[in-house]
Amino acid sequence: MAWRSVRISGFPAPSRRIELMLRILLVEDDPDVAAVTSAMLEYYGYHVTIAIDGRQGLEILSQEQPELIVTDFMMPLMSGLEMIEKIQDAGRLVPIILCSAISETHFPPHRARYDVFLQKPYDAKALIQAVETLRKRNQTP
């Protein structure tokens, strides 16, 4: 079977192929949101591993060494903010995109530091733009 280019409806076409596949850990408890977000990222050439909550996210982080994390805020067992705090407590430096249907102004007090906040629902362009910005910022010259 011959390879053919596919355009996914509603997704802007990739402007170029990504030279080095970025490894992304996607932490999302909603299977539908995880599937769509993963498909968006993979369409643009990123390698995606999915965790269903913060605890599983921490387990995968210790095994796979992702270069970027995209995480939901509200999840069972461990929230995105709690996971981020544990990552920081362990001294890990990994860019993080935090996503939530809740406005940042309504978050409980926390000490978690993340690089980008995306309000749900977000579109493919906003997500890919955030990923690319963080990828470029963290490239070694």
Residue 115 domain boundaries: 23-74+82-137
pLDDT confidence tier of residue 106, bands split at 50, 70 and 90: confident
Structural domains counted in the chain: 1
**Residue 39 near residue 84 (C-beta atoms within 8 A):** no
Tokens of 65: 């060494």
Check residue 14 and give its pLDDT: 57
pLDDT confidence tier of residue 9, bands split at 50, 70 and 90: very low
Residue 115, in any domain of the structure: yes
Q: What is the pLDDT of residues 66-75, one digit of tens each?
A: 999 999 999 9
Residue 30, in any domain of the structure: yes
- Mean pLDDT, the chain, whole residue set: 86
Check residue 1 and give its pLDDT: 33
